[in-house]
Structure 1
Amino acid sequence: MVDYDSDFTVKQQIVNALRARIEAGEWAPRRRLPSVVHLSQEFGVARDTILRALEVLRDLGLIYTVKNRGSFVKLGADFVAQLIPEPGVRIINRPAHDDEIRELSLSEHGWVTVVERGDEVEVYPADRVEIRGPEG
């Protein structure tokens, strides 16, 4: 179920919940996710809300969808970096540029996490980065 009093939108709560299951290994790579109907009943929301949440997970590169078959966990949905922000470091998420999509093997609408430390810039696939506070 979703918390309608939360600071997060209903869609974002569902994205967070589904992403947590994928990252925890509850759904292994290539495993089919529960159906849209099942998820809408589980979360108590409309099908369109689930479809929009799945679209975000697709854009993040965590899942892929096969027409008339369902959505599946994508291979390589594991972390490549764990970032702990430091003073003077800027971390932003943005849509990937065409060259980043090719270089990082991202989906067409993939996102990247950009870490800027002065003149130094690092770019990571957004779906494989975890950002933690200094306390861990």
Structure 2
Amino acid sequence: MIDFGSDRPVHRQLADIIRADIAAGRLKPGQALPSETRLMQQYELGRVAVRQALGVLRNEGLIVTVKREGSYVRPQVPIERVTVYGAAEVTARMPSPAERKELDIPEGVPVFVVSQPQKRNRVLPAHRTVLIWADSSE
């Protein structure tokens, strides 16, 4: 439940509740979330707080929102393990609109840019990439 006396903003508390439901499997990948109106009624919140909570979850890549349809739990994606060697440099940044479309990255999810000597830079979606550092002598 929402603790209206808490220092934590109510929209963050609602995001925590929905996130916990996703993590526990009570909301499954592809499943629709309750409507904004239903969430407002259930948690006694205003529309702005509900929309802010959904925005937090969207930015975390946990949900997708389809205009005039609603919000859905984002389907789970396979994790790619990428080996990075000692001389490589890895930076994180937000993707360009073209990269977001090409890599199918939800709004708010950053990318890793892996730069290795004499190799083309690799742009990898951070929400589905695990970087593994290896000794360059291997």
Measured at CA, do residues 103 and 70 of structure 1 come closer, stay the same or move farther in structure 2, by a change above 3 Å?
closer
- Corresponding residue of 1:130: none
Q: Quick check: 1:23–1:78 contact (8 Å CA) kept in 2? A: no
Using the aligned pairs only, state the percent identity.
36
Structure 1 residue runs of 5 or longer lacking an equivalent are 81-94, 113-122, 127-136
The residue correspondences of 1:37-116 to structure 2 (distance < 5 A) are: 37-76=37-76, 96-98=93-95, 106-111=105-110
Measured at CA, do residues 3 and 74 of structure 1 come closer, stay the same or move farther in structure 2, by a change above 3 Å?
same
Question: Aligned to 1:18, what secondary structure does the other structure show?
Answer: helix
Quick one: distance in 1 between partners of 2:77 and 2:14? 18
Quick one: distance in 1 between partners of 2:56 and 2:42? 19
Measured at CA, do residues 75 and 24 of structure 1 come closer, stay the same or move farther in structure 2, by a change above 3 Å?
same
Matched, 1:125 2:127: yes
Letter in 2 for 1:70: G
Cα RMSD of the aligned pairs, angstroms, is: 3.1
Matched, 1:17 2:43: no
Q: Quick check: 1:96–1:109 contact (8 Å CA) kept in 2? A: no
Question: Aligned to 2:22, what secondary structure does the other structure show?
Answer: helix
1:73-107 CA deviation, whole Å, 9 max, x = no partner? Answer: 00117999xxxxxxxxxxxxxx8432896898532
TM-score, normalised relative to structure 2: 0.61
Quick one: distance in 2 between partners of 1:6 and 1:69? 32
- Corresponding residue of 2:88: none
Bigger CA radius of gyration = 2
Question: Aligned to 1:125, what secondary structure does the other structure show?
Answer: helix
Measured at CA, do residues 97 and 111 of structure 1 come closer, stay the same or move farther in structure 2, by a change above 3 Å?
closer
Question: Aligned to 1:11, what secondary structure does the other structure show?
Answer: helix
- Corresponding residue of 2:87: none
Quick one: distance in 1 between partners of 2:61 and 2:46? 23
